[in-house]
Chain A
Amino acid sequence: MLSAIIALSVLAAVFGLLLGYAAIRFKVEGDPMVDKIDALLPQTQCGQCTYPGCRPYAQAIANGEADINQCPPGGETTIIALADLLGRDPKPLNAENGIEENIKTVAIIDEKVCIGCTLCIQACPVDAILGAAKQMHTVIASECTGCDLCLPPCPVDCIDMVPVNTDSTNWKWSFPEEADKQEKTA
């Protein structure tokens, strides 16, 4: 009886030490889940998910505060990817956050109308607008995520969202059945 108690206590102590050591030695800095979720988000930083950027939204998902269907720019693809990652069931996009638009757009500034107020520069989450006070502003199209955040602050409404041009470098083959349908209707 006594030997059993001693043996068990010794074992408990040994394993306790082992676990304690492992907890310190293999401590994970930060939350890797947030990084993984963040990597799946489209990084438009548009805030349509009600969080101030993609990473805060990732943080909220990881904490269980937000659902996975609040990202309109990512749309179905992102929801499925998040569902896969988190082992949940995919669900349709929450309409409160917006609707998925399949056409990628970029902002363009009407340079004749721009008064150089810098408000859009302050609003841009990825520093994709170039300009200075009382100087004309312009959008660096290749860096623009199409988040629409520069539209509301503009006092003269000189910013438009235009679809990204399709050329031979970013053109995609259509889904075959869709092509068949098109041919049938035509």
Chain B
Amino acid sequence: MRRLFQFHGGVQLKEHKKEAMTQPVQAAHLPKQLVLPLQQHIGAPAEAVVAVGDKVLKGQLIARPGSTVSAPVHASSSGTVIAIAGHPVSHPSHLNAPCVIIDTDGEERWHPDRHPVADYHKLPPEKIREHIRDAGIVGMGGAGFPAHIKLNAGNRVVDTLILNGAECEPYITCDEMLLRERALEVIVGLRIMRYALQAKRCIIGIENNKAAAFRALQEQVRNTGADFIDVIQVPTVYPTGGEKQLIRVLTGKEVPAKGLPLDIGVVCHNVGTAYAVYRAVELGEPLISRYVTIAGSVAHARNLDVLIGTPIIDLIEECGGNRKTLSRVILGGPMMGTALHDVTAPVTKTTNCILVNSTVGDVPLPSRDKHVMPCIRCGNCAVACPVDLLPQQLYWYARAKDFDKVQDYHLFDCIECGCCDYVCPSQIPLVHYFRYAKTEIWAQQHEKTLADIARERHQFREQRLERDKREKQERHKKKRAALKPPGNAVSKEEEAKKAAIQAALDRAKAKRENQQTEPKNTQDLTPEQQQKIDEANARRAKSNNPLINSALDTQNVQQDKHS
């Protein structure tokens, strides 16, 4: 018997699992319309490759990955694309998200382009990963991280590949039903994953309340002779199904804060993912359906094999729920699930459970009655916390919006399991505070990067303007310099010019001095004219007018000169 370990805290919950396991899993009815969100995974959204009006076949690629961390989306059934538009999806924001909407034609015609791998051992691991990526497989336990990335260990050695079949939340039974009915396929999928990761050994962890599934797995492991696979029962404590908690229980190792399981040589995948890998590699089928539990206030709680994109209301009605009396539909389990705002939202790759409440009969939930009272510092939350955090401290600081302090208390190690909410005697919605603080911090970080970009651009602009100014000045200076005579040769020329001008001026001056100009009317006079002048002068002399006399004198002087 393998030695098991314990994680701190956790809570015991009423299981409510039997109700949905009375009937075998059946395929759900084909819906009239399929709604396929382009983002069903963590990472960049997929990009649609079909157009409105296109006929699509079952399993046909309708959206390709948007980046390396992304996953493609395939048509779950044959039909016609009628819209690529925003549609309600299950998200706490209640926002619409872009979806490809397909009117099904009921023919369920498969796309001919399917490539099952005959013998995966003959392909290199990276080819297997590519195959898994092209099948659009994401982590089906709830987070939806693209599986091909988690199946790539890089240059690190994977000691243990853990398959998570713990399924610790109340009401959810889809993994258990899968293990009961498809144990062989899950084990084949696990072997493919082990090959892709080149892992040494495998452990399938399963809670000890799932006896039938455990037996089925053990039998299949024996039959296939896979001695590197251990099927291990773990105690039923919520949240054993958390990745880090299960790793702790099975290996005794703790995933470092802000680290990955790969850092301690462990990789953990959900059993549903293993089944999807089996279908992709052995049958060549992309991920277009999954097991979903429909539980709660419906006439026939059960598990169905549901095409991805099926509207949730269709499934509720198929299980005998009444559209008119619905009150609160929760997607996921009662501890970590989110309330659905619109029941036309589709089942996605990560939808494991639909928990129906109605006005006729409410589901006994382990949650509160919303009457919040002040924190009394009882410390129950710290006792229950499976990651050894101090929820009450986190709560104080999140409430005070002191986001630095919240991070000092390791907010980002919180797995939002809801144990603290569950045990809080004051019914404080602790996880809501933590989610609030997380998104606020992310937003602040985002704003900080934007501010850094803006600062850089602003500085660049200032530099550019400065440079433009400098260049302009330089250009002007050059132009001015170009107008001036450049070099000595030109200045000599200038001097010569100046000298010439000066010489001309001098000449003119000399000429003026040499050449005496006389009034023209005193020269070459006829005798009569001379006589008249003399007479006039005589008259003036007689008149004794001083003014006239003086003028006469100057005239006489001139006349003397001339003569």
Contacts and interface: CB of A to CB of B under 8 A. Distances in A.
B453 A38 contact: no
B92 interface: yes
B538 interface: no
A157 interface: no
A53 B459 CA distance: 10
A167 B37 CA distance: 14
A168 B39 contact: yes
A126 interface: yes
Interface string B418-457: 0000000000010011011011100110110011111101
Contacts of A145: 450, 454
Interface stretch (A87-95, A131-139, A173-181): A173-181
B436 A45 contact: no
B457 A174 contact: no
A143 B440 contact: no
A105 interface: no
Given A43-B455, A173-B92, A180-B370, A127 B435 contact: no
B97 A172 contact: no
A166 B461 contact: no
A182 interface: no
Contact of B454 (A126, A170, A173, A176): A126
Contacts, number: 73
B439 A166 contact: no
B458 interface: yes
Contact of B93 (A43, A44, A168): A168
Nearest to B443: A172
B370 to A, nearest CB: 7
Interface in A130-159: 143, 145
Interface string A104-147: 00000000000000000000011110000000000000010100
B436 A180 contact: no
A168 B95 contact: yes
Interface residues of B, number: 32
Nearest to B451: A43
Interface string A53-79: 111000000000000000000000100
B454 A44 contact: yes
B457 A173 contact: no
A26 interface: no
Interface residues of A, number: 29
Contacts of A171: 91-93, 95, 439
B428 to A, nearest CB: 8
A168 B99 CA distance: 13
B436 A176 contact: yes
Contacts of A55: 455, 458
A175 B436 contact: yes
A183 B328 CA distance: 14
Interface in A8-48: 38, 41-45
A128 B457 contact: yes
Contact of B432 (A41, A170, A173): A173
B436 A167 contact: no
B228 interface: no
Given A171-B93, A176-B429, A143 B453 contact: yes
Given A168-B91, A168-B97, A127 B439 contact: no
Nearest to A176: B432
Contacts of B372: 180
Contact of A42 (B429, B433, B436, B451): B451
Contacts of B455: 38, 43, 54-55
B447 A42 contact: yes
A40 to B, nearest CB: 9
Contacts of B464: 127
A41 B457 CA distance: 15
Given A43-B450, A166-B95, 13 more contacts: A45-B454, A53-B462, A77-B444, A126-B454, A127-B457, A166-B93, A168-B39, A168-B93, A171-B92, A171-B95, A173-B92, A173-B432, A180-B370
The 6 closest A-B pairs by CB, nearest first: A171-B93, A43-B451, A43-B454, A172-B439, A126-B457, A173-B436
11 contacts: A38-B455, A54-B455, A55-B455, A126-B461, A166-B95, A168-B39, A171-B91, A171-B95, A173-B435, A173-B438, A173-B440
